Structure 1
Amino acid sequence: MSITVVGSSNFDFAAQVAKLPRQGQTVSAKDYKTGPGGKGCNQALAVSRLGVEPVFISKIGDDMLGRQFLETLASEGLGTSQLIITDEAQTGTALISIDEAGENMITVVGGANMTLSRNDLRDKQEHLRDCDYLLLQLECPAVAVDCAIKLAREGKAKVILDPAPVADLVVMRDLLALTHIVTPNQSECLALTGIEPTDAISAKVAAEKLHEMGPETVVIKMGSAGAFYSSNGQTGMVPGFDVSAINTVAAGDCFNAGLAVALNGGQSLGDAVRFGCATGALSTTNNGAAQSAPALADVLALLKDGEV
C-alpha cells in the first residue's frame, strides 16, 4: 500500500501576533519562525511522521530557499528524490500572521509551484499510476492537478482532493467529477455548494450536493466540532478533540494526511475520519506549518485517552 502526494512547497515566514492586523494596520510580532510549508509539503511530512513514507512530487526553485527546503526535509527523513527543481521561478513563499487564538492570515507567493506542468507529471507517471492513494490540493495549476488525477485513475489510486483554495467553479466541477474523496472545510463547502455546514443536518445537505458533482465520498472538516462523512448512503459525525490550539495553519492538511494513512492501513471510513480528526487537532498544538505535524505515537495516545 502506498501514498503519493502532489502539491505545493513553500518556505514559510510566520509571525506570532497578539491580534491579526486590519487593513492598513501595522502590528508588532512577538516571535518569528521560518520553515517548510505549502499544502503539499504539509501533507507529505504529516504522512511521513505517521509512519508511511510517501512519494512527494512538488516543484521548487534552484535558489537559497529551495536548498534550505531540501535540507530540512532530508533532516526529517522525507524523501526528496521526486521533487522537481527549476531555475525558471523562485521557491514558493508564504507570509503568515498567527494570533493568540491560533487563527491566521496567509499571503502566498506561488513561485515555482505555479510552473508545475503536465509534462512534469507525465515524467512522474509511474508513481501516480502505482499508488493506492493520491493526495492533492489546489495551490498548483489546475491543469497539473487534472493531469495528476487522470494519470492516477489509469492505475488503482483513490484520489483524495482537498479543494483549497477553491478555484473557478467550472474548473472545480471538472476536478470533482474525477475525484473519489473530497474534503472541504466549512468555507470551501460554502463556496462549492452555497451551503455553510454548521451541524450534521446542514452538512448532510451539503454533502448530497457534492456527491452530485462526482465524489463517492465526502468528508467535511468542521474545525473543533469534528468532521462529517458521507459515502454510499452511510453518514456520520465524528466529534472533535479538546486541545489547546495555538496554530491552525496546517490542521486541514494534517487531517487529510491522517485520513489517507488510516484508509491506506485498511481502517473503515468512520475510523479513518476519527484518525484524521486526531491528527489535525494535535497539529494545532504545535508551531509551524509542515513542522506542526504530530508523530504517530501522539496520535494513538490521543485516540486512546481523548485528551492531551
Structure 2
Amino acid sequence: MTRGPDSGEAERDRSPAVLSVGAAAIDEWYAVSNLPEPDGGAFAREVTSAFGGVGANVAVALDRLGRDAGLVSRVGDDEYGRRALEHLAETGVDATHVAVGDGPHTRSLILRDPDGERAIVTAGESFRRLRPDGDALAAMADADAVFLTAYAPDRAARRVLDRVESLRERAAESPEADPPALVFDLSGPVEELVGRGTEPQTIHRFLHRADVFVAGGVAAPAFFGSAAAAVERVAAAQTGGSGSHSEAGSRSKAGSRSRRGPTWPRAVLTRGADGMTAVAGGQASRFDAFDVETVDATGAGDAFTAGLIDRWIAGRAAGASAEPTAEPRDDGDGVASGVRFAAAVAAINCTARFTQPGLPTRSEVESFLAERGHGPDGSR
C-alpha cells in the first residue's frame, strides 16, 4: 500500500493508492413478504448472507477498477470477523490495517420486500471501537486519497481528519510534499449516527476540509434540513461564504485543498434513480442516473463514490496510466465525465444481487458507457 520511488519506471507504473476507512461487515439478508409495520410481521422466503460495509465496499470497488486499495477497519474476534478477513484475503484489497478486537463483529440485518424496498438494522461493536493506530495513520502519508464514511466512530473520524490536516500543513511548508486528497461520505440519517458514528460538529469540519464530499438522498436532508439547503450549504462551504475566520485561517495555514483547479473542492448529492447534483467551485449541476433494470440497489452509493474517487482523484494522480488520466472531451475540469463514470459503476452494480458481487471491472464500465454513446472516461 506504500508508494514506489518518486521517480523512474516504478513510479510511472504505480497504481494510485486509496486508503478506505470503514467497516467490513457481514450482511444477513431476509427476502420478506413485506416490510412490517409497528407490531406487524412478515415471512422470510429466503435467508442468506453477503459481505458489505461501506469501507470494504468502496475498497473492493476500487480494486475491481484496477486501483491499489487498502482498508483501515476493525473486525470482531468471532466467526463473522474471521469470515470477513478470509473474504478480504480473496480480493486485491490490502488488509494490513484491519485490526481484530473484542466485541461481536459488525453485521447488518437487511429486510428486502418484493419491490426492492429495504429496512436495515446494524449490530456488533467491532467497528464502533475502531481507533486507527500509528501504522494506519502513517500509511495515509503514502496514499493518494483517504476515504472515510460517517459511520466511522467520531473519535476515529477526528483522528483521521487531524492526520490529513497535519499532512497539509507539512505540504504548505515543503512544496515537494504531496498530502492525500480527503473524501468523505455522509452516510445515513444523523440520528442513526449519534453515539456510534461521526458527530454533526465533526461532519461540519469535513464539509469544509474534504476534497470530495458525498451525501445521499436520506443523509443530505437529515443533516442540512432539505435537499435545497444541502446544495446551498455545500456551495457556500466551497466558496467560503459560510466559513468562519478561524476556518479560513486554517485553510490558509494548511495549504489549499483546491490546488487541483478552480472547481475544487467538489461534492455530489445523490438521489438514487432520480439522479444527482454535483457542486464544483460553488456551482451546482444536475445529472440523470442511467436507466437499468434494478435487481438490488444496496451499495449503489458506495459504488458511485468509488467511481468518483477513480475519476476525480486516482485518475488524475501522478503515475497513473495514460488511459485513466486522459482529459474529458466535453468538460475540461472533468466534473461531468466523472459523475457519468461513477453513475455507470453504480448502475451496473444495481443489476446484480448484493453489493460486492456486482461491482464492475473497468472494462465493464467502459463497455456500458460506450453502449450509451460515451467515452471510456464518461465524456460525450
Q: Normalization by structure 2: what TM-score?
A: 0.73
Q: Which amino acid aligns with 1:25?
A: G
Instruction: Judge which range, 20-29 or 131-140, deviates more.
Output: 20-29
Give yes or no for contact 2:148–2:157 (8 Å, CA) kept in 1: yes
Cross-structure match for 2:27: 12
Instruction: Judge which range, 126-135 or 214-223, deviates more.
Output: 214-223
**Per the alignment, do residues 171 and 148 of structure 1 end up closer, same or farther by CA in structure 2, a change over 3 Å counting?**
closer
- Percent sequence identity over aligned pairs: 24
Cross-structure match for 1:301: 367
Deviation per CA, 1:38-68: give whole Å up to 9, x if none: 1111111111111112011110012111111
Q: Which amino acid aligns with 2:145?
A: Y
Cross-structure match for 1:249: 298
Considering only aligned residues, what root-mean-square deviation do their CA atoms show, in Å? 2.2
Cross-structure match for 2:185: 162
Q: Say whether residues 1:236 and 2:276 are aligned partners.
A: no
**Per the alignment, do residues 262 and 19 of structure 1 end up closer, same or farther by CA in structure 2, a change over 3 Å counting?**
same
After the TM superposition, list the runs of 4 or more consecutive aligned residues in structure 1 that deviate by more than 6 angstroms. none
Give yes or no for contact 2:130–2:156 (8 Å, CA) kept in 1: yes
Q: Say whether residues 1:175 and 2:206 are aligned partners.
A: yes
Cross-structure match for 2:347: 281
Give yes or no for contact 1:12–1:95 (8 Å, CA) kept in 2: yes
Partners of 2:310 and 2:108 lie apart in 1 by 27
Cross-structure match for 1:2: 17
Q: How many residues align?
A: 300
Partners of 1:94 and 1:125 lie apart in 2 by 27
Q: Secondary structure at the match of 1:43?
A: helix
- Tell me: higher relative CO, structure 1 or 2? Use CA pairs within 8 A at least 6 residues apart: 1
Cross-structure match for 1:98: 112
Partners of 1:299 and 1:153 lie apart in 2 by 34
Structure 2 residue runs of 5 or longer lacking an equivalent are 1-15, 168-178, 194-198, 248-263, 317-324, 326-333, 374-380
Q: Which amino acid aligns with 1:258?
A: G
Give yes or no for contact 2:20–2:146 (8 Å, CA) kept in 1: yes
1:134-173 to structure 2, matched below 5 A, reads: 134-155=146-167, 156-165=179-188, 166=190, 167=193, 168-173=199-204
Deviation per CA, 1:133-161: give whole Å up to 9, x if none: 11110222111012112213333111111
**Per the alignment, do residues 19 and 295 of structure 1 end up closer, same or farther by CA in structure 2, a change over 3 Å counting?**
farther
Cross-structure match for 1:216: 265
Partners of 1:248 and 1:96 lie apart in 2 by 12
Q: Say whether residues 1:192 and 2:223 are aligned partners.
A: yes
Instruction: Judge which range, 8-17 or 263-272, deviates more.
Output: 263-272
Q: Which amino acid aligns with 2:63?
A: S
Q: Which amino acid aligns with 1:30?
A: R
Q: Return the offset for 1:163.
A: 0.9
Q: Secondary structure at the match of 2:337?
A: helix
Cross-structure match for 1:56: 71
Among 31, 47, 53, the alignment partner of 1:32 is 47
Among 255, 272, 275, the alignment partner of 2:338 is 272
Q: Secondary structure at the match of 1:66?
A: helix
Partners of 2:208 and 2:232 lie apart in 1 by 19
Instruction: Judge which range, 145-154 or 209-218, deviates more.
Output: 209-218
Q: Which amino acid aligns with 2:134?
A: R
Q: Normalization by structure 1: what TM-score?
A: 0.89
Give yes or no for contact 1:131–1:157 (8 Å, CA) kept in 2: yes
Instruction: Judge which range, 220-229 or 286-295, deviates more.
Output: 286-295
Q: Say whether residues 1:107 and 2:130 are aligned partners.
A: no
Give yes or no for contact 2:62–2:69 (8 Å, CA) kept in 1: yes
Give yes or no for contact 2:20–2:58 (8 Å, CA) kept in 1: yes
Q: Return the offset for 1:130.
A: 1.8
Among 205, 208, 211, the alignment partner of 2:232 is 205
Q: Return the offset for 1:125.
A: 1.6
Q: Say whether residues 1:129 and 2:195 are aligned partners.
A: no
Structure 1 residue runs of 5 or longer lacking an equivalent are none
Partners of 1:238 and 1:180 lie apart in 2 by 20
Partners of 1:301 and 1:47 lie apart in 2 by 17
Partners of 1:252 and 1:4 lie apart in 2 by 18
Give yes or no for contact 2:26–2:108 (8 Å, CA) kept in 1: yes
Instruction: Judge which range, 164-173 or 260-269, deviates more.
Output: 164-173
**Larger-gyration structure (1/2):** 2
Q: Secondary structure at the match of 1:76?
A: coil
**Per the alignment, do residues 257 and 89 of structure 1 end up closer, same or farther by CA in structure 2, a change over 3 Å counting?**
same
**Per the alignment, do residues 203 and 124 of structure 1 end up closer, same or farther by CA in structure 2, a change over 3 Å counting?**
closer
Partners of 2:230 and 2:127 lie apart in 1 by 32
Q: Return the offset for 1:270.
A: 2.1
